[in-house]
Chains A and B, each alone.
Chain A
Amino acid sequence: MNAAGILLAIRLARRELRGGLRGFGVFLACLALGVGAVSCVGTLNASLEAGLRRDARTLLGGDLEVRQSHLPPRAEALELLADLGRVSLQARIRGMAHAGDGHSAVVEIKAVDAAYPLYGRVILEPDLPPAEALAERDGLFGAVAEPRLLERLGLRPGQELRLGHGRFRVTAMLRTEPDRGATLFNLGPRLLLSQAGLESTGLLQPGSVVSYSALVRLHPGVASEQARAALTREFPDETGWRVLDHGQAAGGIRRSLDNISLYLTLVGLASLLLGGIGAAGAVRGFLASRADALAAMKAVGAERGQILAAYLTQILVLAAVGSALGLLAGVLGANAAAALLSQVLGVPSAPGLYPGPLLSGLAYGLLTALAFSVWPLSAVAAVSPVRLFRGYADPGTPRPSACALAVSGLCALALLTLTLVNAPAPGVVLGFAAGVVLSSLALFLLARGAKALAKSLPSPRDPRLRLALGNIHRPGSGLTAVVFSLGLGLAVLCTVVLADLNLRDTLDRRMPASAPAYFFLDIPKNALKLFQDTVLTVPGVTREEHAPTIRGRVVRVNGVLSEKVRPDPDAAWILRGDRGLTMADRPPEGTSLAAGEWWPEHYQGPPLVSFGEQEAKGLGLQIGGTITVNVLGREITARVASLRRIEWTSLALNHAMVFSPGVLDAAPYSYLATVYSTPGAEEEVFRAVSTAMPDVTAVYVRDVLDDVRRTAGRIALAARAATAVALLAGLLVLSQALRANLQARRREAVVFKVLGATRGDVLLSLAAEFCLLGLSTALAASLIGALASRAFTTRLLLGGWSLHPWALAACALAGTAATLALGLLGVRRALGQKAWPVLRNE
């Protein structure tokens, strides 16, 4: 098309738009909702990412961190780091804090030196410098506690608490800990101590699960890559530590956010899809109303391409308006959500305008409008001017051109590519796309089947029902449009509702039933007997399990350095940081072997390991493969002898890696134990252990589960808010689909009334038709939703799934009710309308 053609298209579009946006409400709303949803998710991701990047050094606590379990990094390494910048040492361990009146609580202890913090600011109440707050005074070390710890222990600043053998005075409340970052749940509140303070507790025993960090704030001009390279050069064989730079800060938050973002992206895409369908319906409706004008233009010499260009320009202008509205809503929503996430979960965020997601959102809007509009537009542009002549109807339905179909297909492909580029998990997006295609196919078949069925059913005697049934299969029936719009919208709703219910099932039903009452950490090697004697004499204790445990880091898988291994996402945690290792002579109770064999009793041969089946699969490990772990600086290579099925959600004592006897015997391990008890006995168990062994950390499982449930509840709330957007898009699309046939329905209602039907007759006939439409679609959508939620829950959330028929039935009924309500709302005017104005215009 030449410049004159483009100018003509713009001129014609401008003339069409001069009358305002009347009739385009649904088009604009649908696009705005879809674009709003995707740009909201994009902007939210960008602002969280920017927040993490901005605060990366603060969150890590330095430019570089050398992290190691059980022992501090060796002195030569610390000297090297001191040459490169300012070094701060930290130790982290869990412990039990006791108040004088018998209250106790698990705490996450962090012992810091005078250099802490290297970045950011610790805010205390009262406002003291950390070093002063933690210093020793009058024979007591200072301690700084999170307010919720003081709440649990019933303490106020100025009072004392006990930790191991040490006594501390709580000097201040910890308001802000710059390097705490966001964690979705913790075993306990933070307690900040000095290094000397921690040593005074006696908790640092051989085998204690303590994690040391050397953090460094590099001198100006020294890059973290240089520091990392220097460490590798000077200590080429050191695999016991893990070196992190600020780019890797807050990995846990990133992973959690990635999962949330993936879910929101899927809901956003569903909204966009529904918006696109609604927009297509609106375009079809608009063009149908303009068919005479289009035919007139063709009669006076307009080519199909000229018509197409003029109306496409108009639709693109409208799409830009709708997208702009969506972008505005998306940015506002994202900034509100980012602020909420910062407040509720402590996730850093940098609210603002991010061009990337905005441009993506605009591209999504325009591509969606194009993909869904070119097709109906091309069909209508093929309208023949013969319709303008008296007594002459269009010969058959106009068909879109092959070129228009190709453009629609290319736009859909571009949308998919754009999504794959932006999405955190392309595989899931492809799965979503496949799901959409399959669902559309199923709904199409359903529409065809329902029409055929309605046609083949014997005619009901009641004329009103006969009419309703006839409206389902006659030419121009709204069935296909309703099946697609309501079907896809309702399928999304069913998917989300079922996924949500199943997630709750996993948290509520399965865990507490089989979960132990307590986990006990850091039971010294030589105190296991005392521990067993203590807990097993408590009335109500039904079972005790224990396993030796020591922290170690996987450094090689099948001889390949773990940094170079590309694990499946759900097995990546094995290679992240230090993991708990254990050893066993016989298979632990309840072991279920999936492959290989357990070693013989009293085995004394070369090191063997039994691996979790899923984890081994994720790492590409098979029977006979090797794994190398670094424990306290010593590398141990073991051959995989067996694979076990592990039910992590049972909260039983499980280790991904169980070594053969002898491998870790000499290491200073401690014991990890679980205690099962009847309800009501928990308090006595805790009292007995904390009295006999004050250094042992007790984790009350119910507290942890409550914490998890609270966090999951918050996330579910956000998910439901996102789902509401998809649902709203679905309802808009449904109203649009029903509106398409409204004119015909109104005319029919008037004709029926002229022929003697009462308003009740008309109402009943229409209600029966809308109910049939809604119900058949709702049944199909429920089935699709059930299948999709099953895939989502079992594949992505790795949880169990059950059907929840009542919830599904409620969704199906709600969908039917929405169809009925929206349908009847649309024709309400026709019921009271005078006949003559309608008939005179015929």
Chain B
Amino acid sequence: MHLTLTGGSGPVNILRGVNLEVRAGETLAVVGPSGSGKTTLLMVLAGLERPSSGSVNVSGRNLALMGEDALARFRRSGVGIVFQAFHLVPTMTAQENVALPLEFAGRPRAFETAGRWLAAVGLDSRLDHYPAQLSGGEQQRVALARAFAPEPFLLLADEPTGNLDADTGRIIMDLLFSLSADRGTTLVLVTHDQGLAARAGRTVRMCDGRLDGEAG
């Protein structure tokens, strides 16, 4: 799969012939230097970027053939994303943030489910707090609950501990791995942290838009 984006200074080949297969339930870490295309790969897996050539099949669906709204429906039904900068909606409480994908998907009892997920990440006393009233670690836990609430088959995490201190980061990663394992969720994790990568079942290294091969 190739991805070329055109910027102000002309076309740039971001992904140059990536061939990757991730099995259901697998945990995969993607490592590599800055600018190697890790995050772009994650975006392609989430259906947020279309490959310039090649195809992306997730759970039997070719993302390259789906429209914008179909991709949104695909994400809310089966893909959870965790960002480095959390990206909670600042005007909504923790519970509302977690309920959001369930509401978009029209699932019944969205708030009840959100409450259960917040309890699962240890935030049952923070349901009505706004993101600004939560610490960084707590915000990322809300983001985890939001990502897992629709019970996705695929979870994509982009440097989920990048904005957190080491101790908090460890707690978050414990949570991420245990939740994925409990639910059999496929986890693709982009990280700089070799220690974190080592906790994944498999690690691949990216360099200059290509997969260098299995690492670790």
Chain A contact residues, CB within 8 Å of chain B? 4, 8, 11-12, 15-16, 18-19, 292-293, 295-306, 384-386, 388-392, 395
Contact = CB atoms under 8 A, between A and B. Distances in A.
Nearest to A16: B91
B91 A293 contact: yes
A301 B72 contact: yes
Interface in B95-113: 96, 100-101, 103-106
Interface string B85-98: 10111111000100
A303 B43 contact: no
Nearest to B103: A8
B182 interface: no
Contact of A384 (B34, B48, B85, B89): B48
A389 B89 contact: no
B88 to A, nearest CB: 7
Contacts of A391: 34-35, 39
B92 A389 contact: no
9 contacts: A295-B87, A299-B48, A299-B83, A299-B87, A301-B150, A303-B69, A304-B68, A386-B48, A395-B5
Contact of B104 (A8, A18, A293, A384): A8
Given A300-B147, A302-B104, 10 more contacts: A15-B92, A299-B83, A300-B100, A301-B101, A302-B72, A302-B100, A303-B68, A304-B72, A385-B48, A391-B39
B81 A300 contact: yes
B101 A389 contact: no
Given A389-B42, A391-B39, A301 B75 contact: yes
Contacts of A302: 72, 76, 100, 104
B122 interface: no
B159 interface: yes
Contacts, number: 90
Contact of A388 (B5, B7, B87, B105): B87
A777 B104 CA distance: 45
Contacts of B26: none
Nearest to A300: B101
A665 to B, nearest CB: 88
Interface of B: 5, 7, 34-35, 39-40, 42-43, 46, 48-49, 68-69, 72-73, 75-77, 81, 83-85, 87-92, 96, 100-101, 103-106, 146-147, 150, 158-159, 162
Contact of B87 (A16, A292, A303, A395): A292
Given A11-B103, A301-B72, A390 B162 contact: yes
Nearest to A395: B5
B39 A390 contact: yes
A303 B162 contact: no
B147 to A, nearest CB: 8
B91 A19 contact: yes
Contacts of B35: 391
Contacts of B158: 389-390
A395 B76 CA distance: 23
B77 A301 contact: yes
Given A390-B84, A390-B158, A303 B91 contact: no
A502 to B, nearest CB: 51
Contacts of A19: 91
Contacts of A11: 103
A664 B117 CA distance: 102
B72 A303 contact: yes
Contacts of B103: 8, 11-12
Contacts of B40: 392
A296 B43 contact: no
Contacts of B90: 293
Nearest to B98: A300
B105 A301 contact: yes
A617 B7 CA distance: 64
Contact of B146 (A298, A300, A395): A300
A403 to B, nearest CB: 13
Contact of A389 (B34, B83, B147): B83
* Residue among B72, B73, B88 having the largest count of chain A Cβ atoms under 10 Å: B72
Given A299-B75, A301-B73, A301-B75, A306 B84 contact: no
B38 to A, nearest CB: 10
Given A297-B104, A300-B100, A388 B85 contact: yes
B20 to A, nearest CB: 18
A206 B184 CA distance: 113
Contacts of B68: 303-304
A589 B83 CA distance: 91
A292 B85 CA distance: 11
Q: Which 3 A-B pairs have the closest CB atoms?
A: A301-B76, A300-B101, A296-B87
B83 A388 contact: yes
A401 B92 CA distance: 27
B60 to A, nearest CB: 19
A298 B75 CA distance: 9
Contacts of A18: 91
